[in-house]
Structure 1
Amino acid sequence: MAEKKTYAEGCLAAHALDLIGDRWALLVVRELMLGPRRFGLIRAGLPGIATNMLARRLEDLEAAGILTHRTLPPPARVPVYELTDHGRALRPLLLELCRWGVGVPGHDPRLPISPTSLMLSMEAMMRPGPGSFTAGFDLGAESFVVNVEGPRFEARPGEAVQAEMRFSAPPNDMAVAIYGPALLAQAIASGRVSFTGDPGRGQAFVDLFRLARP
């Protein structure tokens, strides 16, 4: 393997970029931010990355102590990659990058977004309101449960067995339904997204999110 490049500076920001500044590195971290994943699922969330590049980035991030590689216990017995405490500590940075990026011209929402990137963008773009919500999101190959209570947003992988509402759509269509500007009822009527639950509560939930810098 080629020797890893470094900025060779004592600056702490430069040190951080030595670890996560390579192309794709931070997006690999993004895909692991909501829980451990198999190689194939990470690859699915990063459609532009070559398989050998992903393998290299995973190896680099493991060597830097940002993620670890392990095998799940029975009955799964599958190898997964998982963030360490150092890796999970990058969550505020990812959220702030979302908030910064939404205010910079040139963003194209038609480009592919992964299910995890949608969940993290919702966390970054939420405007806290009164009340609490529990929503299920079926995003193709992945499902999430979202709990919102005041300013707290929590998304975790899994089926929403007891959620009060449920959304189903591919990630890009779901982003349109969440961020508008059309009402949720219009997104449902267009067939872009499926929804079960109380429509009024669903609209109140969607109204918490704005694709604009807070």
Structure 2
Amino acid sequence: MARRRSYDQYCAAARALDLVGDRWTLLIVRELLAGPRRYTDLHADLPGVSTDMLATRLKDMERDGLALRRKLPAPSSSYVYELTPRGQDLLPVLQALGEWGAPELAERRPTDAVRAHWLALPLLRQLTALGEPGVVEVRLDEGLFHVRVEAGEPLYGEGAVAQADARIALHGDLGERLARGETDLARAVREGTARVSGDGPLAKALLGEA
């Protein structure tokens, strides 16, 4: 497979953009941080990407060592894509990019797609800062997802988990305010706009009882 065009600059930032600077690549990484995903699942959670573009970007990522494609064992036998360790190393890049871009969110536009789990990465940094590992289940108007704090890969997933170390319910527009960086979890818990349940160390840390 021929390599894509390069900036041809002996600069680490330019080399990085050679690999991840194309449209959709970093958003595919965002989705694969949730663990192995089928092509159809990726397409569903990347509104606006064409099937041809998604297939091209995934091939690029395989070629560049950021992702791999493998077949699941029977009875599933379907193919999934997942990040390589090199691809997983992009987590802090996405977090920094999200923090920098938070002020650009402003009010949600009528044309904006939204998925509950897109809040996972901004929340992960705040949860990690608490210093307690575990799994946090998060409920907001757009849906339910869970985040793994220092508990290995994958970092997050959609839906509930049987064993959560803490559960958080976000009320009203709190999810949007957290995404924009206008507030944080600690403040939301104090103000009562985020309700925390659970009796483990992570829940106690969220409640300020640790």
Give TM-score, length-normalised by structure 1.
Answer: 0.68
Q: After superposing the two structures, state which structure 1 stretch, 15-24 or 158-167, moved more.
A: 158-167
In angstroms, what is the RMSD of aligned CA positions?
4.0
Q: CA deviation at 1:121?
A: 1.6
Deviations 1:167-191 (A, max 9, x none): 579xx96724866869679769xxx
Name the amino acid aligned to 1:156: Y
Deviations 1:26-54 (A, max 9, x none): 11111101211011111122112112111
Asked if residue 160 in structure 1 is aligned to residue 158 in structure 2, the reply is no
State whether residues 146 and 153 of structure 1, in contact with CA within 8 Å, keep that contact through their aligned partners in structure 2.
Answer: no
Residue aligning to 2:18: 18
Q: List alignment gaps of at least 5 residues for structure 1.
A: 189-194, 208-214
Residue aligning to 1:5: 5
Change (3 A) 1:166 1:131: closer
Q: CA separation in 2, counterparts of 1:57 and 1:162?
A: 35
The alignment partner of 1:80 has SS state of strand
Aligned residues: 193
Q: CA separation in 2, counterparts of 1:196 and 1:97?
A: 28
Q: CA separation in 2, counterparts of 1:7 and 1:128?
A: 37
Residue aligning to 2:71: 71
Asked if residue 41 in structure 1 is aligned to residue 41 in structure 2, the reply is yes
State whether residues 115 and 142 of structure 2, in contact with CA within 8 Å, keep that contact through their aligned partners in structure 1.
Answer: no
Q: CA separation in 2, counterparts of 1:142 and 1:70?
A: 29
Q: CA separation in 2, counterparts of 1:146 and 1:206?
A: 17
Q: CA separation in 1, counterparts of 2:160 and 2:19?
A: 34
Name the amino acid aligned to 1:53: M
Residue aligning to 1:114: 115
Change (3 A) 1:67 1:202: same
Q: CA deviation at 1:131?
A: 6.4
Q: After superposing the two structures, state which structure 1 stretch, 174-183 or 29-38, moved more.
A: 174-183
State whether residues 160 and 166 of structure 1, in contact with CA within 8 Å, keep that contact through their aligned partners in structure 2.
Answer: no
Q: CA separation in 2, counterparts of 1:137 and 1:29?
A: 21
Q: How does 1:62-211 map to 2 (within 5 A)?
A: 62-102=62-102, 105-108=103-106, 110=108, 111-126=112-127, 128-129=129-130, 134-137=135-138, 144-148=145-149, 155-157=155-157, 159-163=160-164, 165-166=166-167, 175-176=175-176, 197=197, 205=206
